[in-house]
Structure 1
Amino acid sequence: MNRRELIANSACLALSSLLPLSTKAAEAETGWRPLFDGKSLDGLRFYQEGVGDVDKLGTVSIDKGGILHFLPPSYKGTTAPPGHISTVAEWENYHLRLDFRYGETRWPPRKLQRRNSGILYHMGPETDRLFPDCVEFQLEEGDVGDAIMVNTLGLQGPSLGGTPLWPNWIPAFPSDYQTPVRAGIYSRQWHKHTGGYERLDEWNRVDLYAFDDQAAHLVNGRIVNTIFKMLKTDASGNKVPLTRGRIALEMEWAEVMFRNVMIRPLDHKAIDRIKAQGSD
């Protein structure tokens, strides 16, 4: 092999080390697994307000490329009550990643309002209802990354130099919980995000780190919100740490699509690395 060939081969080897791994190789390397397999709703359950737990109207379709489509053009309903699909299993200590984008169609009573969806996490095992007890990673236009505590509580990470506190709570900070807003059976805290990184009418990648009693919301690779010391009310009426639950993808009167819905468990070593350096 002459000098020119040696340099060319070395350059190819160096370049190949920078190329992304195939999806399967990346999954094997990092522990990612599909939460939605792109072919069926196995391991998931459906709920739509006023319709129930059977999708009678084609509310959810699986499009080419494994895209999960809520309220697609083939939807048979004349109205579009909100709902969600949720995991049967409960999850704790994980990193969730997915891509989402809005469709064009909006439905009354929000036909003139912002398109809306969300990721619901730490849902309890109780029967599904319109707004289950959970934490919502808000996916509404203009509010992507907000955290809504539905019948739950959390301390929002203070903004430090324009970015939310992460990965460790600082004991010197006040630990008084924001007073929830109550409406009927619902009690809500609404923690607004920092920074605007969403892209309208394009695919957006969002990440959720949820471990112990804290969580971080990322939009297109940037942390926009963090929640600490999350609490729920147990069957005895006591406030206890909120650390686990089912995961759901939501629809609220607007067409929306999801793809590449992946999750990876975070073990104690991974959590320790995140607490030490902010990422795994």
Structure 2
Amino acid sequence: MKKAGLALAIFFCAIALAFTTTVKKDHWKSLFNGKDLSGWDTYLGPPLDDAGKPVTNEPVSLNNDPKQVFSVVKDNGENVIRISGEGWGAIISHKEYENYHLQLQFKWGALSWGQKKGKKKDSGLLYHSVGKYGADYGAWMRAQEFQVEEGNTGDYWGCAGGMADIPAIKKSETEYIYDKLGAMYTFSQESKQGRHCIKQGDAEKPSGQWNTLDLYCHGDTSMHFVNGKLMMVLYHNRQLEKGQELPLTKGKIQLQSEGAELFYRQIRVQPIDKLPAF
């Protein structure tokens, strides 16, 4: 009886521990309510011609979307966010985030527009977004970009003054590929290397299938994952402001419209106190 009682006690303790651990780790908050774009603003830059040049200097601007570039539609019975790509801009979270794990899913649609027509479909997850609207190409805030583009998802771009140090291998005068054992380079619009670093490897699924992106940000470091595979690690996230380098460790989230149709779903975020091991 004593052995049976002890075994039973251990069994219930294990269940209690498992439950406690699960509750402790699960702090996800959805950023898409499954109904509409509550919690997000929309912003569109000036209309562009097929060569990518502005037709006018006047942006369509904040929360003015006459062509419904940003909408919620049904996909196989599920409400998802559709970004048509007809115009350059973004949906922008109302809130700023710091020390977090962001997870979302995206898939490509069929449409492309203007200078992007017939080319790789393009978008982007912009994080640590700060400053004025339209600072980059008249369409996006200053930010760090987790590139979302066919074949290049996971790359880094610094937007409108965003900069970071990334270990990389120099492939050519203009191409640098992430490598955790590579030399440390600074990527920014002012640096010799430029503001673009190529991810390592490829994990994107064929066009039309859902992909999962995981972004981890803690302190001044961030990590890009595509379908569970690490693409790159960025160190010393910062921004160039009037010639001074300042920290860039928190900000809003932007999901780009950049000439291609795509869909987003299951957008959620939770706080973290450390980065995952890699």
Could you state the TM-score of these two structures normalised by the residue count of structure 1?
Answer: 0.74
Q: Which residue in the other structure is 1:213 paired with?
A: 220
1:81 aligns with 2:87: yes
Matches of 2:252 and 2:133 in 1, distance apart?
Answer: 12
Preserved CA contact (<8 Å) 1:164 1:223? no
Deviation of residue 98 (structure 1)? 0.4
Q: Which residue in the other structure is 1:67 paired with?
A: 80
Q: Which residue in the other structure is 1:133 paired with?
A: 142
**Letter aligned with residue 84 of structure 1:** A
1:106 aligns with 2:112: yes
1:164/1:30 CA distance change after superposition, 3 Å:
farther
Matches of 2:178 and 2:186 in 1, distance apart?
Answer: 20
Preserved CA contact (<8 Å) 2:163 2:188? no
1:176/1:197 CA distance change after superposition, 3 Å:
closer
Matches of 2:178 and 2:213 in 1, distance apart?
Answer: 17
CA RMSD, aligned part only?
2.9
Q: Which residue in the other structure is 1:228 paired with?
A: 235
Deviation of residue 237 (structure 1)? 4.0
**Letter aligned with residue 66 of structure 2:** K
SS of match in other structure, 1:38: coil
Q: Which residue in the other structure is 2:42 paired with?
A: 46
SS of match in other structure, 1:109: helix
Query: Percent identity, aligned pairs only?
Result: 27
Preserved CA contact (<8 Å) 1:163 1:223? no
Could you state the TM-score of these two structures normalised by the residue count of structure 2?
Answer: 0.74
Preserved CA contact (<8 Å) 1:125 1:246? no
1:259/1:122 CA distance change after superposition, 3 Å:
same
Where does 1:1-40 land on structure 2 (aligned, <5 Å)? 30-40=26-36
Match of 1:55 among 62, 65, 79: 65
Gaps of 5+ in 2: 1-10, 47-59, 170-176
Deviations along 1:108-149, one digit per CA (max 9) or x if unpaired, are: 221111101110111104234413211111011011000101
Matches of 1:27 and 1:220 in 2, distance apart?
Answer: 24
Deviations along 1:71-113, one digit per CA (max 9) or x if unpaired, are: 18xxxxxxx2211000121111110000000000111221111
Deviation of residue 29 (structure 1)? 5.0
SS of match in other structure, 1:156: strand
Higher strand share: 2
Matches of 1:148 and 1:62 in 2, distance apart?
Answer: 28
Preserved CA contact (<8 Å) 1:27 1:33? no
Gaps of 5+ in 1: 1-12, 73-79
Q: Which residue in the other structure is 1:239 paired with?
A: 245
Matches of 1:38 and 1:188 in 2, distance apart?
Answer: 38
Where does 1:134-213 land on structure 2 (aligned, <5 Å)? 134-150=143-159, 151-158=161-168, 164-165=179-180, 175-178=184-187, 180=189, 189-200=195-206, 201-213=208-220
Q: Which residue in the other structure is 1:253 paired with?
A: 259
1:179/1:59 CA distance change after superposition, 3 Å:
closer
